Amino acid sequence: MTAAPALVRPRQDRVIAGVCAGLARRFGMSASLVRLLFVLSVLLPGPQVIAYIVLWIIMPSD
């Protein structure tokens, strides 16, 4: 059994801060899919933008 990749913001494949790309890499998903899901989630009420900013601050850069 292999270890999951670390939760970091990659230097390549960044659009804004690399949060979506880092989450996609960590969970084995497409970065485009994670970005699309995030954009769609912003249309719903909730703290999505705040969560993105918090992850931007706490996730280390690759």
The pTM of the whole model exceeds 0.85: yes
Contacts of 60 (CB under 8 A, 6+ apart): 8, 9
Structure-token match 């996730």, residue found:
59
In this predicted structure, the answer to whether residue 62 has a pLDDT above a threshold of 90 is no
In this predicted structure, the answer to whether residue 5 has a pLDDT above a threshold of 90 is no
In this predicted structure, the answer to whether residue 1 has a pLDDT above a threshold of 70 is no
Of 11-15, 38-42, 48-52, which range is least confident? 11-15
Q: At residue 15, what is the residue type?
A: V
User: Beta-strand (E) ranges in 1-62?
Assistant: none
- Asked if 23 and 8 count as a contact pair (C-beta separation under 8 A), the reply is no
Residue ranges per structural domain of the chain? 19-58
Contacts of 52 (CB under 8 A, 6+ apart): 17, 19, 38
Average pLDDT along the chain: 93
